[in-house]
Amino acid sequence: MPDDKKYWIGFNLVKGIGSVRFQQILSYFGDLSVAWEAPSEVFREAGLPERTIANLIRVRQEMDLDQYYSSLLDQKINVLTLLDEDYPKLLREIDQPPPVLYLRGELSPADEFAVAMVGTRKVSAYGQQVARDASLFLAGHGLTIVSGLARGIDALAHQHALQAGGRTIAVLGSGVDVIYPPEHRKLADAIIENGAVISDYPLGTQPEGINFPPRNRIISGLSLATIVVEAGERSGALITAEFAVEQGREVFAVPGNVLSPVSRGTNLLIQKGAYAMISPQDVLDVLDLSQVDEYKSARQILPADTTEAMILKTMGFEPIHVDEICAEAGLPVDKVSAALTMMELKGMVQHVGGMRYAAIRDLFRK
């Protein structure tokens, strides 16, 4: 493993260190290996609370990071950090993305074309039919289906995505070694073979209620859009929809009987401005994804003209601002911006935020 990955894992094991604290530590120390060895007083200077510092010292004393990482490999669990190139692109774009992800199965570039499907555990016959039809249709059209492995809509979304021969991702509110609910272990195994089961919680984390809203934030963050099939007025699916809105992603809701408790949440979402999903084709139309396979194929194309070639020549694997690309390539900003949009679609470059782009290493391995 990269020398510093074990330190990302180490800090992830400390209760009280999430995305904000991770950034705080990185900003203060500049290097997690340095931070891992720092004395308590330095963490106080960095602004960490006493309880978090105590948790950190305890984990540091008890944990052999090399041995722990080896145990992850033995269990076929991969770890992705924000520094890894294969960290999910859509998730990286949200505010405060999870710094560490634990993964069983495999993520794929194809998962950039993903939609979340969530809803109530107490699904009606109507909801079952809609979830089935939508999952089969969208997975059959090349979209990855993201959900939370819960009873009801979540399980249906995963099952029918697999039935369609598509990919699906399950995001857990527990460690990836703690499948919840337990009756979905076989489903989780099938997902691992055709997608991934992921979590930002360390191994052994139990599925406590407090874990699920952050889990829902990852579900929406991995997805171009969130589809709520059925949901009550206080459903966790509505929390996922709220996160999607905050992340600048689209929200679809299935209209239902105004007298049905499990349709109150979805009808309310539509009233607030969510797209009414009358047909799963609506999702493809709104997202302009009617030709997903063509988009995926476009990722493999090499520079199409001298503009793309000149832009690539100015870029490295570290992010560079559009203005710097324009200056070094001697090209106007409108031409560079248009070319970068197409190059990102092809998988040649990635947008890392703040109008900064980086070349993708895999392009140079061909």
SS3 of the chain: CCCCHHHHHHHHCCCCCCHHHHHHHHHHHCCHHHHHCCCHHHHHHHCCCHHHHHHHHHHHHHCCHHHHHHHHHHCCCEEEECCCCCCCHHHHCCCCCCCEEEEEECCCHHHHCEEEEECCCCCCHHHHHHHHHHHHHHHHCCCEEEECCCCCHHHHHHHHHHHCCCCEEEECCCCCCCCCCHHHHHHHHHHHHCEEEEECCCCCCCCCHHHHHHHHHHHHHCCCEEEECCCCCCCHHHHHHHHHHHCCCEEEECCCCCCCHHHHHHHHHHHCCCEECCCCHHHHHHHCCCCHHHHHHHCCCCCCCHHHHHHHHHCCCCCEEHHHHHHHHCCCHHHHHHHHHHHHHHCCEEEEECCEEEECHHHHHC
**What value does the mean pLDDT of the chain take?**
90
Confidence of residue 347 (pLDDT cuts 50, 70, 90): confident
Residue 348's pLDDT is 82
Does 21 have pLDDT greater than 70? Answer: yes
Q: Express each pLDDT in 65-115 by its tens digit.
A: 999 988 998 899 999 999 888 899 999 999 999 999 999 999 998 899 999
Residue 362's pLDDT is 52
Confidence of residue 306 (pLDDT cuts 50, 70, 90): confident
Q: Express each pLDDT in 230-257 by its tens digit.
A: 999 888 999 999 999 999 999 999 999 9
